[in-house]
Structure 1
């Protein structure tokens, strides 16, 4: 195909992405949308592709630990644990399918939701004999899905997830029955400190990640747009050279 027979828009876009190669390329081809002129046609679509690939990487990391958990469950001959692990593995397969078919936002939100629900499940079923020293550090685990999820979920979901985690902490501490040292503090000023501390940590993390994500997205879009302009200029020069022969140019 010669230069004049190609569409300028297609050629410009084609210069902005590379073919996936190696193991990670194989994995991303399975768990994220393909790179082509349709999925990479604009800076907004390329930003969506970036988040889809980050989601694909994160699904792989979690899948690695799921395989490890499955081996441990089989080795311990714990049938229910094997069932739970297999169900979660099927859930990860669903997330990879959704991400692969372009429903990246749905896949990312479900992934972060599953992480938060897992933490809620662990804390909610903690024995009521657990003391404050052992219980309260577990509230900090909500930081991880919010901080990591901000890499690939839309920014508008960061604060709803944060508020959901804070609501659970308040409900768990005030409503659920706990050890004697925690029960004796309910109704006193001490419990206010216990509530404010994890809530403040989560709010600060959410604000920092929201601002950081916004800054990164804007920087990537500006750089992507500049690269697109450079590629378009190079294509224009190629067309100009192709139309000029022996110092004679035509349109």
Structure 2
């Protein structure tokens, strides 16, 4: 059942990651502003065949760039509200947050996604807690108590930008901040009344929310990462199968070419060659075979030349005997062999018997 679900998930992922041309054109046009932002706030894209770790890091960098962009837009939109607020420290807090967002975008461009995640978590928690501590009344009201629920955003940032297990550390930090603020900061009358009646319920609710969000997000992200790893392994197996199929086709083609060359050479055609490219796995074998065929071709040509010279020598002997008997000059035609200079030198000459000398008896 698990393998069946994995194959279905892989098919859906392939449909998503390998869209049709029309889908690619629509996606390219709609994602153009986002790609422009990625080119500003993230490093260059990873390779197509990059490992899962590299792809996951690029995914977190892109997600961090989007989160930082949203945080920057929200903080800028709160500037007017901060100027009109009765809290004098709200405007400096927002300005500091904008500065940290810009600095985090710069770090994200350099690829420090873990540092960006830590800064983002600290920024969100600090902004929320400072807003509670620096309230005009200086007391923790019921509305401020409900603001503790916003601390779950730091958990979402942690589980998205940092290793998934870090969400439990952030949840523990949030719970500690809630407890410290509740027990140390003075309570407003509305919260003080409820605190005396239902203190346990009031305190458990934000703590339980932090724990539930941490557990659920951790399980969800871990399951998603495992699913992506399974898909990555399936794609890796498919790439290996494709590479093996390509190698098999190259081997079959190379063996066929070498076999044809050997058959031609066995039939006496030593001019044949195996036209294999260097990318073929049998290229070294084909190159050695071509060298052997070239040497056999030169040897065959030398043997044919020697046969022609032998035939020409026999013809020259026959012509010389006839010329000697008939006492006519030698009439020798070029043969196209190495004997042509000799034939040219002997052509037109007579072959005469030596005259009898005093020491040689004359023939009767």
Q: Is this a same-fold pair by TM over 0.5?
A: yes
Deviations 1:137-196 (A, max 9, x none): 21111122213442222113211111111111111111111213444666x573222211
Of 35, 45, 52 in structure 2, the residue corresponding to residue 43 of structure 1 is 52
Find the counterpart in structure 2 of residue 156 from structure 1: 165
Deviation of the 1:84 alpha carbon: 5.0
Cα contact 2:139–2:186 (8 A) shared by 1? no
Indicate whether 1:219 and 2:231 are aligned.
Answer: no
Deviation of the 1:93 alpha carbon: 2.1
Indicate whether 1:66 and 2:71 are aligned.
Answer: no
Find the counterpart in structure 1 of residue 32 from structure 2: 22
**Which deviates further from its counterpart, 88-97 or 164-173?**
88-97
Find the counterpart in structure 2 of residue 169 from structure 1: 178
Cα contact 2:140–2:191 (8 A) shared by 1? no
Cα contact 1:40–1:46 (8 A) shared by 2? no
Matches within 5 A, 1:94-113: 94-113=103-122
Q: TM-score, normalised on structure 2?
A: 0.55
Deviation of the 1:199 alpha carbon: 0.6
What is the alpha-carbon distance in structure 1 between the residues aligned to residue 138 and residue 72 of structure 2?
Answer: 32
What is the alpha-carbon distance in structure 2 between the residues aligned to residue 208 and residue 148 of structure 1?
Answer: 14
**Structure exhibiting the larger radius of gyration computed from Cα positions:** 2
What is the alpha-carbon distance in structure 2 between the residues aligned to residue 54 and residue 87 of structure 1?
Answer: 22
CA gap 1:29/1:228 in 2 versus in 1, 3 angstroms: farther
Runs of 4+ in 1 over 6 A off after TM superposition: 73-76, 79-82
Deviation of the 1:228 alpha carbon: 2.2
Partner of 1:41: helix, strand, or coil?
coil
Of 129, 132, 147 in structure 2, the residue corresponding to residue 123 of structure 1 is 132
Partner of 1:155: helix, strand, or coil?
coil
CA gap 1:197/1:36 in 2 versus in 1, 3 angstroms: closer
What is the alpha-carbon distance in structure 2 between the residues aligned to residue 85 and residue 73 of structure 1?
Answer: 10
What is the alpha-carbon distance in structure 2 between the residues aligned to residue 59 and residue 93 of structure 1?
Answer: 8
Partner of 2:50: helix, strand, or coil?
coil
**Aligned-residue RMSD, C-alpha:** 3.3
What is the alpha-carbon distance in structure 2 between the residues aligned to residue 184 and residue 69 of structure 1?
Answer: 32
Deviations 1:67-101 (A, max 9, x none): 4345x37997xx98776544433321221222222
Deviation of the 1:112 alpha carbon: 1.8
What is the alpha-carbon distance in structure 2 between the residues aligned to residue 116 and residue 91 of structure 1?
Answer: 13
Find the counterpart in structure 2 of residue 8 from structure 1: none
| Structure 2 unaligned residues grouped into runs of 5+ | 1-16, 19-23, 259-280, 283-364
Cα contact 1:52–1:104 (8 A) shared by 2? yes
What is the alpha-carbon distance in structure 2 between the residues aligned to residue 169 and residue 87 of structure 1?
Answer: 23
| Structure 1 unaligned residues grouped into runs of 5+ | 1-15
What is the alpha-carbon distance in structure 2 between the residues aligned to residue 40 and residue 234 of structure 1?
Answer: 14
Cα contact 1:147–1:209 (8 A) shared by 2? yes
What is the alpha-carbon distance in structure 1 between the residues aligned to residue 224 and residue 36 of structure 2?
Answer: 27
Deviation of the 1:40 alpha carbon: 6.2
Cα contact 2:140–2:186 (8 A) shared by 1? no
Find the counterpart in structure 2 of residue 10 from structure 1: none
